[in-house]
Amino acid sequence: FTVIEVKKDLRAGTVLAEAVEQLAGYVAERTKRLNQRYVGVLTDGADWRCYHLRVDEELEEVAHHVVDPAQPDPDRLCVWLEAILATEAQIRPTPQEIDRRIGADSPGHALERAGLRDLWSLAREAPEARLKRRLWARLLTTAFGLNSRTTTTFSSSTPTWS
């Protein structure tokens, strides 16, 4: 589900900061009331920003798209929005379409990655998670001969642990 906030010009004064704060309230309220994940989109028609509501109820910008007025590309904007809204049906599963809609540079991927990061922040200290991290670290050490316990970030392909 998505909340879209439209402003006249996001570049003017404090409009952007105020709009993000306003959008955060809308997204948090909808998320709580309907018990569904909501994302926020903020735009002035040229500048498009996608926001994820973190577990601390702060909005985090996860994707940004700018429409060039000299060379507008409505198809590119539609694909960007579709990756967030996920409303289009009967999409041909070509490598290009998959990359455009859910690839590593897509807003859909950014939203899901932010959601996974939030889930991990909630679960990382659970005893089961700690045990599985230790077991996974042992497997990686056995397979690759290196100590994988040096980082606390998720990589795109494999979670690594501290």
pLDDT at residue 147, rounded to an integer:
62
Q: Within this chain, do residues 12 and 50 fall inside the same structural domain, yes or no? A: yes
The answer to whether the beta carbons of residues 132 and 138 sit under 8 Å apart is no
Do 104 and 54 share a structural domain? yes
Q: How far apart are alpha carbons 20 and 51 in whole angstroms?
A: 9
Q: In this structure, are 41 and 109 located in the same domain?
A: yes
Give the domain extent around 160: 127-162
Is the domain of 94 the same as that of 137?
no
In the chain, how many domains are there?
Answer: 2
Q: How far apart are CA 162 and CA 150, in angstroms?
A: 5
Q: Looking at the structure, tell me whether residues 132 and 87 fall in a common domain.
A: no
35, 92: one domain: yes
Torsion of CA 123, 54, 116, 160, to 10 degrees: -70
**What does the DSSP 8-state code read for residue 159?**
B
> Within this chain, do residues 94 and 49 fall inside the same structural domain, yes or no?
yes
Q: Whole-model pTM?
A: 0.73
Inter-axis angle of helices 107-123 and 95-102, nearest 10: 50
131 and 118 share one domain: no
- The verdict on 92 and 59 lying in the same domain is yes
Judgement on whether residues 136 and 156 belong to the same structural domain of the protein: yes
Listed as ranges, residues in the chain with pLDDT below 70 are 146-162
Q: Which residues contact 162 (CB under 8 A, 6 or more apart)?
A: 149, 150, 151, 152
Assess whether 148 and 83 both reside in one domain: no
Query: Quick one: pLDDT at residue 83?
Result: 85
Please report the pLDDT score of residue 149 as a whole number: 55
**Do 94 and 144 sit in the same domain of this protein?**
no
Provide the percentage of residues in the chain whose pLDDT is more than 90. Answer: 35
Amino acid 155: pLDDT: 47
DSSP H helices, the chain, are: 15-34, 74-85, 95-102, 107-123, 127-144
Q: What is the pLDDT of residue 66?
A: 93
